[in-house]
Each structure stands twice: as structure tokens, then as C-alpha cells.
Structure 1
Amino acid sequence: MDFGGGDEIRFEHLGRAGVVTLTRPQALNALTHRMIRALDAALCAWETDQGIDVIVVKAEGRAFSAGGDILHVYETGRAGKPPVEFFADEYRLNARINSSRKPYVALIDGIVMGGGVGISFHGSHRVMTENAQFAMPEVGIGFFPDVGGSHLLPDLGGSFGMYLALTGNRIRYGDALWSGLATHTIKAEDQGGFLDRLTLTGDPESVLRGFFMQARRETDRPTLEAISSHFSQPSLKRVIDSLERAAGADEFAAKTLATILTRSPTSLRVAWRQISAGLTLSMEACMKMEFRILNRMLAGHDFYEGIRAAIIDKGSKPQWRPASLGAVSDADVDAYFAPLGERELEL
């Protein structure tokens, strides 16, 4: 089956399932615009295909998807042509996955970050193996947890989503399961059998009952209680103050504070407001909000500086502007959320 994805993404009708495979393992299955458009076209076609009962998304190689193609974003943005349409199509795809009327099963065996999260965690079934690692590390490159992060992260109990958004830290499959990010965990060695059974029956609930393997939470209770205490504060400043008070006697607080203080101050303030707002917004409203933020990020400094430090001049220290949280005003943050007029995202 060909939906215009070339050699970057494969589509198959196997039994009762429409199966999508990301095929850019050498690039950790980073999403290109062509992949996004092709997946969207496939979902449109399969939504009304009576021969398909379930949609499955998986990937080749050691990563499910490490995110979007940010090198392309850097190059086009620096050339004065930021890829706004890439993100618009990506956000529309995220919303389509969230509203899919058919079961949407993401089979995640490896790294899943950024854009990879957007095409997996808005589906009905998020199935992770012991090889899976989840992160939304955008604040570390001067960006924000987009692709529906404002819809996904606020629902996690104990302020765990705010913790993930403000630190960008990675978690494994046990934490993902117990936080509610993943719906199921299975053994990596069982993926083939799981997929065979799923394509035969088209019924993910019954198949998962036979393959589900309970995963233990990796983060211990004292740490979870600390996350809940620190990250439930009513403002970002209060979060930082809480961590600072505990840092002298608590290794977790000290390490977490040190991590946060390396992130873009602008990204941190925008992300805190974004995740807080998302708690009461629909997926569609979240995507419209994120598109407003996205447009301002593409016109700013820190996103390109973060990519430069992480990808172009690997390992160098980013020079954020402004350089401190105190230098980012409320008015600066408000500007990221302001309406776009005729440029608003249409879903």
C-alpha cells in the first residue's frame, strides 16, 4: 500500500489490521513531513475501510521515534523559511489519532520522544516493551513539550507530567505504565506473536490479555512523593523555591534543580503555563494553543540555539536569551499564547 511515504514509512493491510512501520532506523525514525502526510492519508483511508478493525504503528531499529527532524527545522528556520506547515500537519495528525474511531495500537520497543510521542500516545493502546524509554526533552533545546503534550501530561497523577515537562528526564516502561502513559507492557520477544495474533483477530483487548506482562515501577515511593510535593506548586517560581529549600539535604531535589536550571528559562515558563492550562482543555484546544506557541518559538532565539548546541556543535553549552528565569516577564510569556488571527490552526 502506498500513501506517499516513499522508503521512510511502510503501510500494509495484514488480516484485520492496517499496519504502519517507520523505516528510518538510521535516523532513529525521526519524523519527516512526508511521513506525517502519508500517515495522515492512511488513517483517513482506513477509518472507513471495512476490512480494517485495528491500526498498528511500529518501527524498525532500536528507536520507535526519537522525534521530529529538527535539523531540517534548524536549516529552514535559519534560512528565513521556518517550517510552519510541517508542524501544522503534525498537530492535525496528532488530533486525528486522538479522535480515531478504531483502536490505534502503538507498539513501542525503544526510544520514543517528541514527535514520536505525538504519533503513539494519543492512540487507544500504548504498548511498551522493556526496551522502551519515554521522554519529552524539549525544554532542553529551547522548545516546549508540543505534539499534544499539553493534553497528555496534565492527566498523569502526582504532578508526574509537570515533572517530565520541566526536566525532560527519561523514564522506562514501568514508570510509563504506572503513571498512565502506557496502557500495557509486553515482553520484547513476544512482539511477533502479539502482532500475528492481532492481525488475525483485529481485537487488541483480547489479544493483550494473553500477552500483558506487569512491569514494576522504577521510581520509588519517596521520590514519587517528592515529585508530587515539589511539582504541584502553584507557580514555576514556587516549584524552584521548593526544590531549593530541599536541595541541601535531599539528593533528588538537588539533582532535579540542577537539571532544570540548565534548561531554557523561556521554555520553562512557557511549558509550566502550557501544562497547567492543558488540564482543562480538549485535545483540539490544546493543539490550537500549541500552534500559537510554536509560531512564536520559530520566530525566537532559544529553539535554534538549543538545536545548535545539541546537534550542530554537539555538547556545547547553549546561550539562552534571556539567560535567567527572573528575566522572563509575564508579558513575554503572554505573547506566546496570544491569538494568531488568520494564522490560527485549523483542525
Structure 2
Amino acid sequence: MYRETIPLLSTTSAHLLAGLFAFTYVGSIYASKSARLRFSKRKVNLPEGQARLKLQAERWRDDPDVIKARLFAVSSATLICCMTVFIVMKNGNGDNATNVTPNAWLHLGFTWSNAWPLLITPLLYAGPLYVQFLEKTLPFQEGWDFEDDVLSRFFSIFGLRNYFVAPITEEIVFRACVLTVYHLADASQNKMIFLSPLVFGAAHVHHAWETYHRYGCTATAAKRAIISTIVQVAYTSVFGFYCCYLFLRSGSLVPPIAAHIFCNIMGVPQPTYEMSLLPHRKLSIVVAYLFGIIGFVCTLKSWSYTDRSLYWQ
């Protein structure tokens, strides 16, 4: 006789845990005094779009000591979130608690995927990559320098944050941990793809406070902070949809982490600006961008799937 499987978590519990993960991750950078930012409250009227200069007593996010403290904070927060998932699964599995460790690793995506999902994001960036080829700044072209483009960029404290710790810890927390608890609550694939990334987007709201102070603490600065935060939340949510899809389809953290790192390296595409720099290559740049977009759409479903994924049977 058919017996309905009872979810390990309720939907409410999954929501609460997802919120807890976000609070733990973002809150970690405010829990320590050495990781917190410090700004002058003095109002400064500035030309539109111009940020003010940093004062000596202030602490901004790109200060090396702030970066070091925040790297430690988010790494610790990530470990706490993973441990929470283990505890939840252990308490919910009862007599099967001895199998929790391998099962939790599998749920969190700590497994390898095949190479195809790793190629989807570079394909989408065919346009920007083509522009770099024209400018001869791709690896081993004449405009590329190993010391500047590899050692200085990736192996500095800024590179450690931008290309290693931040993307890896964010994907572990906002993809692996969040999607695991929703999966344990029997959430549908669509809900996990389109609702859970909103947690990731909301986790970027706190940047508004920094923007407001950097641009002078005026009404104009507040307007800029609101607009930039809305754009950032929208962008990170859309990016989250994509990374959730990669995670669920592949069952591995490797594809979303690779996509996150690659996007951080490439930045936001700027086709209009690129065509203004290379007007004689305008048509070929448009073709390269269209090729990347069409290729992305055509390969996303087939290249992202791994038959070992427990999320996409």
C-alpha cells in the first residue's frame, strides 16, 4: 500500500532556516568591530555621480584590515550554516542518523559534476570575450601580462575576496544550504529556482547604507543608494535564479561557484561602450553577443543536467 512520505521540514521551518542563514552570513560582518565599516556623518554636497574622498578615521570596505576581518567572518558563518544543515538532518533522520554525513554532503553539493555545466557561462560571455580578443588582452595575447593580470589581480587581498572567498562562501550558504532546507521541505523545483534566490538578493540590501555615506549623506545620496540597491537586488536575484538552476540540475556546487567566479572576473557586459571603442568592429561584436545569448539558451538545459543529481530526477 502506498504511504505518503512526510517531509523532514515544514515549509515554515525552511523559510526560517533560509532567513537564519542569510542573517548569519550578513550579520557576521557586523558582529566583529574589526569587520564593521565606519563613516563620518557629515553631509557633503557633491557633483552628481561623484563619491567623496575617504577620511582618515573612516573604515571602508576596501581597507585591507576590513577585508581580512570580513573574510574570516563570512568563512566562519559559512561553517556555522553547514553545521546547522547537518544538525537538522541528524535530528530529522532518527534511526538513520548514522547515514547523515554522506547524505548531507550530497545534499550540499560537495561532489564533482561533469565539465559541460562549466562551459555555459563562458558561452554566454562570447561577446565580451570576443572584444577582449580584439583588444589582445586574453591570456597569452600581447596585451596580457602575467604579473598584472594574474598575480596582482588574483593573489592580492582584493582578489582573494572577489574571486575566491566571496563567491565560494556565498554559493555554499545561499545555494547549497538554502536549497537543501527547501528540498527537505519538499519544495517544488520552480519554487526553489525562483523564490530561494530572493534571500540572496535581500542579503545585499545592507549595501545601501554604505552607498549613502560614500556619496555624502544627502538627499541625492539617499536617492542613489535606493536606486543602486534596487538594481543590485534585481541583478543578484536574477543571477541567483541561474545559479539555483545550475545547482539543482547538476547536483553539484562546482558549476554555480565556477559561474560566480567567472562573472566576477568578467563584470557586467557593456556592449554599447565596447562598440564605441571599436566602431569598425560593431557588426562583429553584435554577432558575437547574439551568438553567446543564443548559444546560452540552446545549451542551458542539455549541458547543465547530471543524472546523479538528487534534486532533478
In the superposition, the TM-score normalised over structure 2's length comes to 0.28
Considering Cα pairs closer than 8 Å and 6+ residues apart, tell me whether 1 or 2 has the greater RCO. Answer: 2
Which structure is larger by alpha-carbon Rg, 1 or 2? 2
Which one has a larger percent strand, Structure 1 or Structure 2?
1
Which one has a larger percent helix, Structure 1 or Structure 2?
2
